[in-house]
Chain A
Amino acid sequence: MSTRWRIFLAAVVLVVVPAGILAGFFRGALLESATDEFARDNQARMQGFLAELQRAAAANQRLMRGLAAAAADDNRLRLALVGDRDDLRPYLRDYATQVARTTSLDALALLDADGRILSSAHHRNEFGVSDAGLLQALGNAGGLPGTASDRAPLLERVGPVPDAPPPAAGTAFAIERTPSRAFLAVISRQDFAVGGRTFHWLGGWEPRLQADRLDIGLVTADTVFGDGSPLFGPGLLSEAELADWGRDRAVVWEATTVPLARTGHLEAARLVTAGSLQPLLRQRRQTEQLVLAILTAVLVGAFSLAALLSWQLSRPLADLAGEAERIDLDHPALDFATDRGDEVGQLARVLQAMVQRLRAGARRLADAERRATLGEVARQVNHDLRNGITPVRNVVRHLGETASEHPDQLADVFRQRRGTLDGSLAYLEELAGRYARLAPDTVRRRCDLLAIAREVAAAHGLSDVAGDPGAPDVLADPLSLRRILDNLLRNAREALPDGRGAIRVRVAAVDDPDLGPRCVLTVADDGCGMTPEVQARVLEDFFTTRAGGSGLGLSNVRRLAGDAGGQVRIDSAPGRGTTVTVTFPGAESDS
């Protein structure tokens, strides 16, 4: 697995796992927050309802005070109340109705000190009826609560709620009746005096038991009052039905307790709220979808970021690796210089230092090679001298043996071997002259390569030499051509296993349309052949597969052919022999 993939996977793991954990955590937190928010929202709506109820109750009390002042200011009413004026009795009886019509109160009654109804707007037939119980209960009422309970668990009915600060006294819920129905009203009591006698206004309004998607009900010991929802329909659910209904279909919880004025006493009624859970469920779904969308986005981002990060981190390394692959003695001048300050830059600088050291080593190696080449030259000289001296030594030893054993034959033997001596000496002389002119002083002239090939092959005892008579001459040093042929033939003979096999020398003419006429020298043997690895390196200096070999034969061929503008190509396969082809440019016909 590459480093890039490792970085990618690591980044993905490092992001995805925490993101998943966080998503789970935030999902839970958001869902809980949504639930709390839903509860608080409902709580706030209930709070708003209670605040509105408070404001309305305060306004009602102000209105009742105004009614008391107006009643005390009305001379006719005064006379009807304390003057026992029969002619004003209808006025008294209609007074509450007229006032309620003006003030839009749903319930209004004027009572005397004993609680007898003197005038009633909502139930005119109650004239003279005693409502002292309600009057007394309202007298003890502490008012409506101003706040709901602090917290109401969802789907859970709670117990008593903390008492809210009481508003102005004398206000409570009460059940009022008309001839046709009973209804829940918020009633305030206001006392006033006329002519030293006390009278009472009892008046209020029928509250709308709804508050912005929230149904509100007043649960008494025996009745549930409310409107606007199935829960608080005219059927009046029982406590158990209320709980079941709330558990299955909606949320119902208790907000606070309120005073309910009953005949002669006050009882604590519970103000409950009910609302659908659908908004909460919808919000929870939206929350989950949101979390999923965020998580998906995070994953996509994480993958993208990991890919980018791995590419960014591995690219310099890959670049360094690519550059480093090109490092060899032939390309020691690679530049890894960089201005990066990170680890990659540090690695590049290390490689740069290494290349510099390699470059210095190559120089030292080149020096060593030159020195080795000098040694090779020395060995070549030694080799060549030995080649020239060995026949001389053999002739001298033959002559010596003849002189000692057959002195008489000495002259004959000398004559027989004089040619060998002369040839060897001539060779040595020529060789000496050549070495004296080593290196730059090669003489290039038109040479008949086929003739030289025949001559050298003959020296090596070979006869399979053939050539194209029309082959162009080669513009080269004849000695170099002899050395090329000498090396090639010696290698070919050494390649023949046990000296068996043929060695073929060919000289051919090739007309290259781009480069002009070419003279091609081919030396083929039926030897053991070479592996591709050996073949790839056989032209290198000092590469040899033979023990005691110098490794300079074919490299010298390559250099000498190169000096003549030629190229060397080797075709070989193990067991199939080797063919060395040297292609020389043909000399111009007029040169």
Chain B
Amino acid sequence: MRITAPHLLCVLLLLAGLGAGCGGGGDQPLPSTDPVWYDDLLGRGDDAPTGWPDAAACSPLDRVGGRGGDLVVALGQAVSPEQAPVPRTDAERIVFAACYETLTRVACTGELLVGLAEAWEPLDGGRRWRLHLREDAVFWDGTPVTALDVVQAWTRNLEATRLFARPCPGLWLQPGGGGITARGAHDLEIRLAEPQADLARLLAHPALAVAVRRVGWLWPVGSGPCRLAADADLPLPELMLRPNPHHPRPPRWRSLTVRVLPGADPRDLLGAGVDLAVVRDRRALDYYAGLGDVHRAPLPWDRKYVLLLSPTHEVAPGAVARLAAAEVTVADSRRTDRLTFRRCGKEGCPQLHGPTVSVFSPPLDPDPTLADVRPGRLYHLQDDPDAAALAARIVAGLLPDLQAVAVPATELARSLQDEEGAAYVVRLDACYPSSCLTLAALLAHGHWLQATLPDELSDPDEAAHRLLASGCAVPLADTRATLLWRGPLASLALAHDGTPLLSTLAVAEGEASP
């Protein structure tokens, strides 16, 4: 690797930031924010995702679609009705995005679109919001969607996200502001603790999708363009999706089978009879590249891995500088040294100082099976091979005094709150259609992260710079999924977080089966 002047400057500035300590005074000179790119084994050289993707990137299948056809999609993670419509896995993100609706939608290009709510209005400078539901919004079973259904759905969803230990939109919706109230059959009012200008975008978060439990239905009943067959059994090797005839924009295909293959080699997803798959594995991409009949299209960068370093537990001097030179070879990824978010503008972002993740209320005692958790360890989320690979590389090459430990999400959240470990590898999914909330979600992992920022700071860009300068956060990699398909597919749209919207999938014109 060639050492350039910007390299040295960056290292010096990072060391200066470490010397000042985490949460140093706001008068400290900020480090340079110029991007410094390193060699990437993939050598993709894409620009940093500083904005929303363009229309071309948001339309990987640009052919004209026709009606009819029975499609098969293979997904490599579990899909469970247990906590639906709140997604826990990438596969659930894809399936639930087709079946359940949020109040608003944000297009892949960043455009705010109508969801279940057809109108929204900020009151009191953004402290209250009033929304009006679509009159024609109907669940799969034909019952209309009411404001009370939304309230009940959100209540259940927020509880589910607490169980997942995820910083979710509920953090900024519920506490202290009165929450959400049904003002009529189709009218809702949301009260916030702090004024929030972009609440409408926040409502497009997949964890705020609306679904209700119905007797006789295995899956929660939603109002999305696709419906899940009611008679599906667990375990679910296959899910059958059919068009929701009550939706104004139903899919054009006749049926869509989702093969759920958790734990399967991603190279086996796009097997015989499978039309479309989504993979992240780099070797799988190489493999599929060797198959002549498989098409591929990268989806927008949707996941960022960040290394969080606890200021309480001193990491070896110079570790951060060395981390900046770490090679990252996970998934379809690229290394980054910046905390950049889509549309990370200069709008005020009060959520940066908001509540942190509270997994349990009241907090539970530490998991006795993890009683040997102690400082000197680097925690990462289990069941995340990319996080595990990053942690292993960091421990092996840069921070040999640490020990990588894979823990469940709840335990990771608890240890972050308690600042128990020396370091953490956390991931940020692009499910927040707001750069402000994405950064806030990162800071919500612990008060010790929020303490790195001055109290009144609300500029997300500056907040990101200060967080980096504190040495408490080191961005590691951006990763993305790749869409693979075989056969004449057409017209696939993406959600704001890069999720393929299966409801928009279609067979190419003239190829659909009768």
Contact = CB atoms under 8 A, between A and B. Distances in A.
Say whether A associates with B: yes
A196 B271 contact: yes
A79 B268 contact: no
Interface residues of A, number: 14
B272 A197 contact: yes
29 contacts: A72-B265, A72-B267, A72-B268, A73-B283, A75-B267, A75-B287, A75-B290, A76-B290, A78-B287, A78-B290, A79-B287, A79-B290, A79-B291, A83-B291, A83-B292, A85-B290, A193-B268, A194-B267, A194-B268, A195-B267, A195-B268, A195-B270, A195-B271, A196-B268, A196-B271, A196-B273, A196-B274, A197-B271, A197-B272
B82 interface: no
B204 to A, nearest CB: 36
A552 B111 CA distance: 174
B286 interface: yes
A76 B286 CA distance: 10
Nearest to B285: A75
Q: Lowest 5 A-B CB distances belong to which pairs?
A: A196-B271, A75-B287, A79-B290, A196-B272, A195-B271
A75 B286 CA distance: 8
Given A83-B291, A195-B272, A196-B272, A75 B283 contact: yes
Nearest to B294: A83
Contacts of B292: 83
Interface in B356-395: none
Contacts of A197: 271-272
Contacts of A72: 265, 267-268
Contacts of B290: 75-76, 78-79, 83, 85
Interface string B401-437: 0000000000000000000000000000000000000
A156 B265 CA distance: 56
A305 B268 CA distance: 91
Contacts of A195: 267-268, 270-272
Interface in A63-79: 72-73, 75-76, 78-79
Interface in A480-523: none
A82 B274 CA distance: 14
A179 B290 CA distance: 35
B272 A78 contact: no
Nearest to B259: A196
A198 to B, nearest CB: 11
A32 B385 CA distance: 65
Interface in A324-380: none
A190 to B, nearest CB: 16
Nearest to B273: A196
Interface in B281-324: 283, 286-287, 290-292
Interface string A75-119: 110110011010000000000000000000000000000000000
A79 B288 CA distance: 9
Interface in B144-186: none
B290 to A, nearest CB: 4
A78 B292 CA distance: 13
A441 B198 CA distance: 173
Interface in A361-417: none
A197 B272 CA distance: 8
A79 B287 CA distance: 7
Nearest to A85: B290
A83 B292 CA distance: 8
A82 B272 CA distance: 10
Nearest to A195: B271
A268 B286 CA distance: 47
Interface in B231-246: none
A589 B7 CA distance: 161
A197 B268 CA distance: 9
A166 B57 CA distance: 58
Contacts of A85: 290
Contacts of B283: 73, 75
Contacts of A79: 287, 290-291
Interface in A161-207: 193-197
A437 B271 CA distance: 163
Interface in B243-275: 265, 267-268, 270-274
A163 to B, nearest CB: 36
A91 to B, nearest CB: 12
Interface string B129-146: 000000000000000000
Nearest to B289: A75
A206 B272 CA distance: 38
A78 B291 CA distance: 10
Contacts of A76: 290
Nearest to B291: A83
B310 to A, nearest CB: 36
Contacts of B287: 75, 78-79
Contacts of A194: 267-268
A454 B292 CA distance: 177
Interface string B319-351: 000000000000000000000000000000000
Nearest to B265: A72
Given A72-B267, A78-B267, A195-B270, 20 more contacts: A72-B265, A72-B268, A75-B267, A78-B287, A78-B290, A79-B290, A79-B291, A83-B290, A83-B291, A85-B290, A193-B268, A194-B268, A195-B267, A195-B271, A195-B272, A196-B268, A196-B271, A196-B272, A196-B273, A196-B274
In this complex, which of B268, B272, B283 has the most chain A Cβ atoms within 10 angstroms of its Cβ? B268
A197 B271 CA distance: 8
A141 B271 CA distance: 30
A79 B271 CA distance: 12
Contacts of A73: 265, 283
A79 B289 CA distance: 10
In this complex, which of B270, B271, B274, B290 has the most chain A Cβ atoms within 10 angstroms of its Cβ? B290
Interface string A8-52: 000000000000000000000000000000000000000000000
A193 B283 CA distance: 17
Contacts of B291: 79, 82-83
A195 B269 CA distance: 7
Nearest to B267: A78
